[in-house]
Amino acid sequence: MPHTSDHRKLSNSVSSQRIRKSFAFLPALFIMLMIFRFSSQNADDSSVESLRITRDLLVAVRDQLQLSWTPEELSFYIEQSEFFVRKLAHFSEYALLGISLILPLIVYYSDRFRRKILFLISWGICAAYAVLDEFHQSFSPGRSPQLRDVVIDSCGALAGILLGLLILHLRARLRKRQRQH
């Protein structure tokens, strides 16, 4: 029978691991809240923010490349680019969600589940959240759900999940190589 101090150490170890597991999913929760906030914006606020971000990006590109655009040209480029920036934002936020889900799932649950299952769980959560997010967006004034956005979100999540798996694979190879030397 283990001594009381051994039992406490084991109990503390198990509870600290549970806490670490819980905290490992905080980035995913934070990203989900961020996505929720963006979807809660009415159409006018969303458009203003989108145009501001597009303008800031194009001004940065113009300045870095030392281009001499007239104000009319800049306005034209903003108008032409805004749709793509919006869709890239969808893709990017779901890529972040995907990577923030797959990493802790693999780290903490790969001993119990195969990676394929964890991959499908991550992607399923992201795709389901994309559908729910579009539904939620339908309650924001002037906004409507778009199947295209669900597809873009799901593709972004897939890219993030695959990137997370690649990072874990490269990390494992690096550790194996370090042990061999």
Report d(CA 4, CA 111) in Å as an integer. 29
CA–CA dist 144, 129 (Å, integer): 16
pLDDT per position as a tens digit, 129-148: 999 999 999 999 999 999 99
In the predicted structure, residue 1 carries a pLDDT above the cut 60 = no
What letter represents residue 148's amino acid?
R
Would you say residue 90 has pLDDT above 90? Answer: yes
Half-sphere exposure of 140 (CA within 13 A, CB side): 20
Is the dihedral angle over the CA atoms 103, 104, 108, 109 positive or is it negative?
Answer: negative
Give 10-55 pLDDT, tens digit per residue: 556 667 777 888 799 999 999 999 999 999 999 999 999 999 999 9
pLDDT at residue 127, as a whole number = 98
CB 103 within 8 A of CB 167: yes
Q: Which helix (H) or strand (E) holds 102?
A: helix 71-109
Whether 7 shows a pLDDT value over 70: the answer reads: no
pLDDT the model gives residue 93: 97
Indicate the pLDDT class of residue 8, thresholds 50, 70 and 90: low
**180 or 99, which is more confident?**
99
Residues 69 and 62 sit within 8 Å (Cβ to Cβ): yes
* pLDDT, tens digit (0-9, with 9 covering 90-100), for 44-85: 999 999 999 999 999 999 999 999 999 999 999 999 999 999
Higher pLDDT, 62 or 111: 62
The CA distance from 157 to 97, in Å, is 6
CA atoms within 13 A on the CB side of 126: 33
Query: What's the token pair of residue 113?
Result: 């589940």
Which positions ≥6 away from 33 have C-beta within 8 Å?
A: none
The pTM (predicted TM-score) of the whole model is: 0.84
Per-residue b or e along 15-24, where b marks 16 or more CB atoms closer than 10 Å to that residue's CB: eeeeeeeeeb
Per DSSP, the three-state class of 113 is coil
pLDDT band at 100 (very low <50, low <70, confident <90, very high): very high
Residue 160 has pLDDT above 60, yes or no: yes
